[in-house]
Chain A
Amino acid sequence: MLRVQQSGRGILVALPVLVYFFVFLVIPLGLVAVLSVLSRDSYGEVRFIWNPGNYVRLFDGLYLKILVDSLLMALSTTAITLLIGYPVAYYIARSPERRRSWLLLAVLVPFWTNFIIRTYAWILILREDGLLNAALLKSGLVSTPLDILFTPTAVLIGMVYEFLPFIVLPLYSTLEKIDEAQLAAAADLGARPFAVFSRIVLPLSTPGLIAGSLLVFIPAIGMFALPDLMGGARTVLVGNLIRNQFLVARDWPFGAAAAMLLVGLSLSLLLWSVRFSRAEWL
């Protein structure tokens, strides 16, 4: 009796969250899922005609290339943010406690500026007569200005900059929890600094590593604003494809199919990470 009452109360407490999820997650996602198997007429109106062909079309040569490009872009973004973010997170985690909060603040400061402004700042830096080229030309490292802006490289730079905090914060929180005594114990048992890192620090920070990588990879693969602003016409990623299908080509069902593919990919990654962390920590 008591147990029934308790579980009833539990649902009551969770109700706002459940309503939230239902209204803002289940319903919109359901609509997109339904939309993805419908057809459109020649005026771009959605017709209630069963059409799974939207998904088949995703694997056409052109779209497949966009998908592969997007995957590669998201993977490179994740890899580079990891390479930069790990040492940063480690340094912050091993700093004296008072300095830590300042360093974390420094990681977050860029977010105080609007995304568009941050991106335009990068455009000013990277364009042909921008800061980077001016510096490179002046130092004599290059004789002609580098053509970086409006290339995939520019997009990659923008993405790494944009997502770096997302990998630093979860890594920091796991690294910060590692007991100093464990590192001392490893050294005491004969582990050189590299072995201490590979055998102790790295395995203990895996949960943060996975969480951070997903926090970068998932938004990176759907990103459309950065490729639009910094990639020019030469870079089309799956995020741009979806946006274009809805807003330009007016092929909502096909755009919905592409969106569902991303949702499926993100969801399976999340489920895998949950299972992985369970296996490791329970």
Chain B
Amino acid sequence: MNVVEIKAVSKHFRTAGSSVLAVDAVTLSVAAGEFFSLLGPSGCGKSTLLRLIAGFERADGGEIYLNGKPVGETPPYARPVNTVFQSYALFEHMSVYENVAFGLQMEKLPGREIKKRTEEALELVQLEKCADRRPHQLSGGQQQRVALARALAKRPAVLLLDEPLSALDLKLRVQMQQELKSLQRSLGMTFIFVTHDQLEALTMSDRLAVLNAGRILQTGTPAEIYDRPNCRFVAEFVGQTNLLAGTVEAVEAGRTSIFIPALGAALIAGASHRQPGEVVTVAIRPEKFTLHSEPGGAENSLRATVIGSTFQGAVTRYSLRITETCSVEALLQNEQARTDLGAGTEVWLSVQAQAVVLLPEEP
């Protein structure tokens, strides 16, 4: 069953006479128990979409359904969702315990029930010992956990998380990513997670939607989004990619041949339903390339010269020039030391047809 159902929802913001379309006819559904991410650059409308679900903003058009019921007219306090805010928004004048108990008190639950659920929530985030402290006496990571416990104590149908990890340092962020994910699995709760960090979205989500300029560009599992981006924006925003302009030359069974003017040669991609003559953009992830000292047997084998390399620990990034007008980036695992690939080294570059992705040409 879909816990969240968003149908053609739009939202304008009017500022100083001009109107900005923050959310543009977004349609989306999130299944029960799913970890769903909204990924996009800042200003893409992902936070506005979350605020629409929470009820802090009213949609100009379309309808949002929670548990199958339309909630357009429902104020935030009556919606079965809870939010973990980017700034945490903890109540400074209350202790950690009071912060977590607040939402339960608002439900007018019996005192014993409030106590039990507050303690459970604090235990869940391992903050039992900090119950009497004030939020400002806690570290950023601990404050984050209080915000989480406060929302979880309400047992919402959907937990909305608005870039909750963005204020944490890298190490803590990675740790919290894992904790959030395992918490979500063990509770079986539906999470909608807003982030601008593509790696975060890929590692944590069951499914994600990539947004830009108020529109959803692509929805899918992390692997689908990464391996089969449907447009140039998604290809570039999620991970890194080499983009080459080309024209479809021939479409045969199981393979498509694209002529790349910059290479002066054709690349072979997998099966597609493009038409010969169609203008496309070819996307190849840097790690899909392999380097050889001799021409390999793969479909796409190109002669290239190493321009430069950057050692990045587990991997090394190579800049390779194929022709005067065409250079690509390749990412190679440092399985063994490759001291032989200095600038000027001539190599053979190859990529499998399956790794050559065709995107519709965009202006």
- Chain A contact residues, CB within 8 Å of chain B: 179, 181-182, 184-192, 195, 199-200, 203-204, 280
Contacts and interface: CB of A to CB of B under 8 A. Distances in A.
A185 B83 contact: yes
Interface size on B, as a range, is 20 to 34
A240 to B, nearest CB: 41
Given A200-B91, A204-B93, A188 B83 contact: yes
A210 B71 CA distance: 41
Contact of B89 (A181, A199, A204): A181
Contacts of B89: 179, 181-182, 184-185
B54 to A, nearest CB: 6
Given A190-B106, A191-B106, A204-B93, A184 B77 contact: no
Nearest to B54: A188
B286 interface: no
A121 B22 CA distance: 52
A182 B91 contact: yes
A195 B85 contact: no
Interface of B: 54-56, 75-78, 81-83, 85, 87, 89-93, 102-103, 106-107, 150-151, 154
Contacts of A192: 77, 106
8 contacts: A184-B76, A185-B83, A185-B89, A187-B55, A187-B75, A190-B106, A195-B106, A199-B102
Contact of A189 (B87, B92, B102): B102
Contacts of B107: 190
Contacts of A187: 55-56, 75-77
Contacts of B106: 189-192, 195
B150 A189 contact: yes
A187 B91 CA distance: 12
Contacts of A189: 77, 82, 102-103, 106, 150-151, 154
Nearest to B102: A189
Given A186-B102, A188-B82, A203 B93 contact: yes
B78 to A, nearest CB: 8
Nearest to A182: B89
Nearest to A191: B106
A191 B75 CA distance: 10
Question: Which 10 A-B pairs rank lowest in CB-CB distance, beginning with the nearest?
Answer: A189-B103, A190-B106, A181-B89, A185-B89, A187-B76, A203-B93, A188-B83, A190-B77, A191-B106, A187-B77
A200 to B, nearest CB: 6
Contacts of A191: 77, 102, 106
A101 to B, nearest CB: 17
A278 to B, nearest CB: 14
Contact of B87 (A181, A186, A190, A200): A181
Contacts of A200: 91
Contacts of B75: 187
Contacts of B77: 187-192
A185 B85 contact: yes
B146 to A, nearest CB: 11
Nearest to A202: B93
Contacts of A280: 93
A185 B56 contact: no
Contacts of B103: 189-190
B107 to A, nearest CB: 6
Given A187-B75, A190-B107, A199-B102, 19 more contacts: A181-B85, A182-B92, A184-B54, A184-B56, A184-B85, A184-B89, A185-B83, A185-B90, A185-B150, A186-B91, A186-B102, A187-B55, A188-B55, A188-B76, A189-B150, A189-B151, A191-B77, A191-B106, A203-B93
A63 B77 CA distance: 55
Contacts of A184: 54, 56, 76, 83, 85, 89
A204 B92 contact: yes
A169 B13 CA distance: 31
